[in-house]
């Protein structure tokens, strides 16, 4: 189940980026909902919000380290528990997003971004997966923390 979720996110991410690259010119912006949502093709050589531009090798290495750490963590969690926990799902989302953007950096030397809500920097499906995964991970950690405190107070 975990592999299917990750595979589908990566596939959808890569297909959507290829469609954006095939139908938009760099810097072009196509309004879908005027002044709210556009498709805008951007090649991001940096990190989130375009920080640390042109550090491709660093980002490739950092992504590889993160991917290895997540896979090791998931392997440990899956080995001891066959259920799909919120924490494991969050890690799968982060993993899939990291792989999607890593593929871009290796293929092109930059990440293809195209979703433009005008009030936020342009992003892609992989970025969304990482963000949603991070939010779910925070929720899972807080839930576990509350659960631990309840158990401690009963003892």
pLDDT computed for residue 94 by the predictor = 97
- Residue 146 CA to residue 132 CA, distance in Å, equals 21
pLDDT computed for residue 146 by the predictor = 75
Name residues of the chain where pLDDT drops below 70: 48-51, 82-83, 148-155
What domain range includes position 74? 52-146
pLDDT computed for residue 154 by the predictor = 61
pLDDT computed for residue 152 by the predictor = 60
Residue 141 lies in a domain: yes
pLDDT computed for residue 2 by the predictor = 80
pLDDT computed for residue 105 by the predictor = 96
Residue 100 lies in a domain: yes
The answer to whether 59 and 47 have CB atoms below 8 angstroms apart is yes
Q: Give catalytic residue positions.
A: 113, 127
pLDDT computed for residue 17 by the predictor = 98
The total number of structural domains that make up the chain: 1
The answer to whether 122 and 32 have CB atoms below 8 angstroms apart is no
**Tens digits of residue pLDDT in 48-89:** 666 677 778 999 999 999 999 999 999 887 777 766 789 999
Residue 25 lies in a domain: no
pLDDT computed for residue 80 by the predictor = 72
pLDDT computed for residue 31 by the predictor = 96
Residue 13 lies in a domain: no
Residue 26 lies in a domain: no
Residue 68 lies in a domain: yes
Residue 72 lies in a domain: yes
Whole-model pTM? 0.87
Place of tokens 């401690």: 152
Place of tokens 């494991």: 88
Residue 14 lies in a domain: no
pLDDT computed for residue 147 by the predictor = 73
- Residue 127 CA to residue 57 CA, distance in Å, equals 19
């Amino acid at each position: 189940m975990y592999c299917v979720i990750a595979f589908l996110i990566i596939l959808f991410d890569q297909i959507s980026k290829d469609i954006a690259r095939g139908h938009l010119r760099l810097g072009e912006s196509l309004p879908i909902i005027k002044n709210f949502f556009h498709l805008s093709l951007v090649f991001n050589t940096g990190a989130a919000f375009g920080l640390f531009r042109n550090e491709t090798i660093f980002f490739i290495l950092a992504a590889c380290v993160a991917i290895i750490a997540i896979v090791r963590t998931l392997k440990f969690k899956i080995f001891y528990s066959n259920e799909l926990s919120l924490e494991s799902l969050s890690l799968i989302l982060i993993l899939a997003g990291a792989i999607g953007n890593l593929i871009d950096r290796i293929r092109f030397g930059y990440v293809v971004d195209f979703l433009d809500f005008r009030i936020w920097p342009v992003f892609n499906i992989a970025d969304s997966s990482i963000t949603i995964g991070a939010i779910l991970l925070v929720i899972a950690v807080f839930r576990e923390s509350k659960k631990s405190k309840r158990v401690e107070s009963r003892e």
